[in-house]
Structure 1
Amino acid sequence: MKKIPIYNYYRHKYGQELLVDMIDVDKMKPDIKKTPVYITTFYSIIIFTEGDEEIAVNEHTVNAHPGVVVCSRPGEMWKWNPDTELKGLHLLFEEEFLLSFFNDPLFLSKFPYLQANRPSPFLLPSTVLCKRITQLYKDIREEINSPASEKDQHMLRAMLYETLMLFNRVPRLSSSSMPMDELPMIRYVAQFQQLVEHDFRDQHDVEYYADKLCITSNYLNKVVKQTLGMTTKQFILSRIMTEAKRMLDYTSLSVAEISQQLNFDTSTYFVRLFHRVEGVTPSQYRDKNYF
């Protein structure tokens, strides 16, 4: 199976950290043409404004046209026509953007259209509701594109919350399914990615994630390797290193404190592992990123 690329959220696209974004589908098209099948690590809700063609999320396929909404969770796989002529607005955000305010780890799972086992990731709002949601999308985009000194994350969080609540009123659109033999693999990989995102700071062992999924470590490694092009251990380590670099870049925590927060037995082992992966020690990495 061909390796499926993973798209991570770009937290510092606008300089300061911002965990919500709004982009035109047109701006996605060069990437879609190169990689029409991909997996994301963030939440996505696209509302289409022009076009008429098929699009798929995981095992579900729908004929997208103006007014159709497609929702995806972290770890889910998108499949587009490489030469898509669809147009629309893409709302994307990290779970942390809302959880840091609502302080409820299950907050997003309370929306049926964002649940892992939902029957369809597609919605079809009424004309009136579609117009209202589209205007909210445009308001979010305007706020995001405002000067850094005027950008208000509380306002963005409020508009995102209102948007999610409005989608809760929208009826689900039925979908067709992909071949059954592909479903278990995709579901296991998606669930594995979600578990890693939630538990990587405390759990570094492949066996932990395999046990959570009620499958063997060998089978988990096989499906992750086939889908993502890397082993389960490499995926976990990559996520740990990404967080380590974020903490080195944006906190004043010592190397020992970072090691402790990432649940390494000793800071010496953390330093050695960081050097093996990144080619420099944590201290050297931090020094070269300071101006």
Structure 2
Amino acid sequence: MFDNIFEAIEEWMRDLLTGMVQSNLTTMFTDVNEKTGQIASQVGQTPQGWNGSIFSMIQSLSDSVIVPIAGMIITFVLCYELISMLTERNNMHDIDTWMFFKYFFKMWIAVYLVSNTFTITMAVFDVGQSVVNSAAGVITGETAINIDSAIANISETMEAMEIGELVVLALQTLIVSFCMKIMSVLITVIMYGRMIEIYLYTSVAPIPFATLSNREWGQMGMNYFRGLFALAFQAFLMMVCVGIYAALVAGIQLSDDLTSTLFGVAAYTVILCFSLMKTGSLSKSIFNAH
């Protein structure tokens, strides 16, 4: 009698653990496959294309709040430029007409740059989008992880396992599944964080643009331009990371040792997240932006 009860309990636990393992394996890579598949489309969008309402808000804030400040900076920079130009020519004893022509030309350039700040800024991201689209045509690897064959094989293997082995396997798949969900959240944070950084960066664009006409103050504007190109070309570096990840995933060999296979795939995903996080600092170092 007791033998039948113990056998029934063991069979119930075996079915429970087997179903847990199969459920974990089925849903383990769903979120990661979805997020990695969206990276190319996410990074290939311009700020106005990613979210039009946020872009309109940022542009309105820039035009109504930042542009007046940029106007004051232009006034200060141009006055400083005029004083420097006059005093460096032998305290105004050596003045010619060409000096004033050059000064008014600089004035026109300064006003033009501030008036067309968003057009110039978005042109930088249009260049970055073109590079990403060209890279997408070269990077064609599949980033989705498919372990259907492993699930079919493990079902047969689990029938020969003891209860203790099934418990360990269920815990391992649960841990890996939880880690993969965390990785999918990190990928989303990295993608959205980059776009929010772009919006924040472009919201104050008129201020550094207002300094470009002056040799001394212009370093602020030049560094801002380098930062813009760094943000734009960060998307290309992200595409390279996706291409490397696709190559690693394509080389996965599903073996009978499911544990090592799962942790190996999880390691590839961790490497992808780490690489995506490093693209920002790497792009800034390439363009010497700080």
What's the TM-score bracket when you normalise by the shorter of the two chains? under 0.3
TM, length-normalised to structure 1: 0.27
TM, length-normalised to structure 2: 0.27
Relative to its length, the structure with more strand (as a share) is: 1
Work out which structure has the larger RCO, using CA pairs closer than 8 Å and 6 or more positions apart in sequence.
2
Relative to its length, the structure with more helix (as a share) is: 2
